[in-house]
Amino acid sequence: MVIYGVYIVSKSGGLIFNYECNVPKIETEKTFGYPLDLKLNYENKKIVVEFGQRDGVMVGHVLTAVNGIPATGRQLDDGRDVFDIINERENYPLSLKFARLRMTTNEKIFLASMFYPLFAIASQLSPEPRCSGIEVLEADTFKLQCFQTLTGVKFMVVAEPTQAGLDILLRRIYELYSDFALKNPFYSLEMPIRCELFDSNLQNLLEHVEKTGISNVRLTST
C-alpha cells in the first residue's frame, strides 16, 4: 500500500493543493578517476547524467555537488564552472554527488494544468456520448486516479500501479476538503489550500490507509 501523492486541481485548472509522500530520497556520492566514464549534459539549468549508468548513478540523475561543494546549475557555490573542473586532469580524483531531483512547485503547477486539457480532450475523443474524462491513468511505475466532482474540482492520487480502491480514498479526501477547507471562513475558493487542519487530517488519513488498507476507510455517507 503505497501512495505517492495527492493533488487537487481547481475548477479553472490551477493546482490548489499538492502533497507528496513516500518518495524515497536517492543520493549517491562516488569518487571518480580521470577520464570521467559518465556522459554529462547541461540541460534545463541542470547537469544531467546522459549515458553510462553504474553503481547507483542512473541516467537522468542530476549532479548536486563536487567534492562536497554544492552546485547550482553549472556553477559551484564558490563560483567555479563544473565543466571546467571535470575536464581538468589535475582535479582528479573527484568526488561527485548525484541525486534524483524532486519536481519543483512550478513544475507541478505546470503539469497539473497540463492534465486539465488532457482530461477534456479525453471526454471529447470518446466514441460514446457522455464520457467521464480520464479516471485512471496507468503506467509501469505508478497509477493516477482522478475524481471530478459535480462542481468541477478534480482530486487526484498517484499510487503504486497495483493499488486498488483509490476511488474510495478520493471520496474521503473530498469529504476532508469540504470540511476543513471550505468550512474555513478564511479560505477563499479557487485559491491554494493552506489550511493546517486539512493537511493534518489528510496526513492522518494516508497514514491510516498505509497501516490498515483502503478497505478500512470509512465514508460518512454509507
Partner 1 sequence: MSRQGTRLDTKNVNSELFTLTYGALVSQLMKDYTNVEDVNKQLERMGYNIGIRLIEDFLARTGSGRCYDFRDTADKIQMGFRIFLGVTPTITNWSSAGDEFSLQFESNPLTEFIELPDHCLNLKYANVLTGVLRGACEMVQMEVTSWFAQDQLKGDTVTELRVKFVKRLEDAIPAGPYTPSSRAVSEQLTNSVCVLEIASSS
Helices (H), 64-217: 82-87, 105-125, 166-176, 196-212
d(CA 141, CA 218): 28
Cell 513516500 locates to 22
CA angle 201, 204, 207 (to 5 degrees): 150
37 or 107, CB closer to partner 1?
107
Residues 9-38 that bind partner 1 (CB under 8 A): 11-14
Q: Does 58 bind partner 1 (CB under 8 A)?
A: no
Longest pairwise C-alpha distance within the chain: 70
Part of the chain binding partner 1 (CB under 8 A), chosen from 48-56, 70-78, 103-111, 200-208: 103-111
* Under rule CB under 8 A, residue 113 binds partner 1: yes
| Stretch 147-186: interaction string toward partner 1, x if CB under 8 A | -xxxxxx-----------------x--xx-xxx--xx---
Does residue 136 interact with partner 1 by CB under 8 A?
no
Binding region for partner 1 (CB under 8 A): 11-14, 106, 109-110, 113-114, 116-117, 119-121, 123-124, 130-133, 148-153, 171, 174-175, 177-179, 182-183, 189, 218-222
